[in-house]
Structure 1
């Protein structure tokens, strides 16, 4: 694995590469092909990072590569975008992970403090990059795992998304922000169910 002698400062502001994008967001019924699409991209991500000298092992606490978001929850309607979270050792060491992912065909969309997002040119796969111990990674997995096991909250989340999609959104980030209150409530119930 590559190591730099000294960690550099992270970015301090949001850089939305290409600016806001008007998008038409549509939910579709759960697609049994989504897990397979995730596995293909997990392999692609792993190959890119391994070729660059970054240790990647999804079974050992090195770099985490996990399917997240609605497409990772069987039975949940979703916009047909595979979301993947990748946890790296140092978010500021972009040469270790960003350059290999760009070379593998992903495009940079977001650079902000603690987070990078790359996506496919078709915009059907979003790869969220965080540092390994960033609480955001745990939060994504908490929500995913709870929605996989709690039908009531899964239904609530889907109905919330459907209601929000009845509106026009100038940017997908605005739509995502509008779901925040419901997501926070679901995660609170998930923590309670786990005794946290």
Structure 2
């Protein structure tokens, strides 16, 4: 059986694990449910502005930056939060980038050494989740693959947008609970992206198989 190098087994986000990753304690509760809004054409410009601020702040420590997540997909409904992947030489060396980013207004929210040394810093104005990974991270490549799949496939983009908009009417206590409700469709979209990748053969791996 051929398996795409970016494939991961199906997993549903776990609230307890997420809570343990939050630097200041458990994940904050969402008041009034998760907000999902129609696509805003200003989001790419916001990314460019924030990305330049990150480059100015971290300097030569920036290996790569990318706009990922739903706000990076034209026409897709999304939470109004810009997701950015920042690649640095060593995410575990927080002294090399966290203090500088904190001076620029970011706050370290998540530390996950066991998940490719992932860190996440939050900026409130504009709302940004800055995800930090290392050069060898597979997750950054997965994020780009998922983004590009949604950009190029109308059916997957519409299905994902419809699910997100429907879930926004439900009373999720945390973003993790909301993400868990999306997990099955996200996995299915990845499966189709893997199957469409001519450079890496991939046999379907249905959930539970």
TM-score by length of 2: 0.79
Q: Any conservation in 2 of the 1:17–1:108 contact (CA below 8 Å)? A: no
Q: How does 1:178-193 map to 2 (within 5 A)?
A: 178-193=181-196
Q: For the aligned residues, what is the CA RMSD?
A: 1.5
Match status 1:34 vs 2:37: no
Any unmatched runs of 5+ in structure 2?
A: 1-19, 201-209
Measured after TM superposition, the shift of residue 129 of structure 1 is 0.6
Equivalent residue runs for 1:39-188 within 5 Å: 39-50=48-59, 54-56=60-62, 63-113=63-113, 114-122=117-125, 124-188=127-191
CA contact (8 A) 1:25 1:79 kept: yes
Deviations 1:98-147 (A, max 9, x none): 12111111011111121111111347111011112211101100000110
Q: Following TM superposition, where does structure 1 have runs of at least 4 consecutive aligned residues deviating by more than 6 angstroms?
A: none
**Distance apart, 1:178 and its partner CA:** 2.2
Contact preservation (8 Å) 1:48, 1:100: yes
> Of the two structures, which has the highest relative contact order with CA contacts closer than 8 Å and spacing of 6 or more?
2
Check the 8 A contact 1:18/1:109 in 2, yes or no. no
Which segments of 5 or more consecutive residues in structure 1 lack a partner in the other structure?
1-12, 57-62
Q: TM-score, normalized by length of structure 1?
A: 0.84
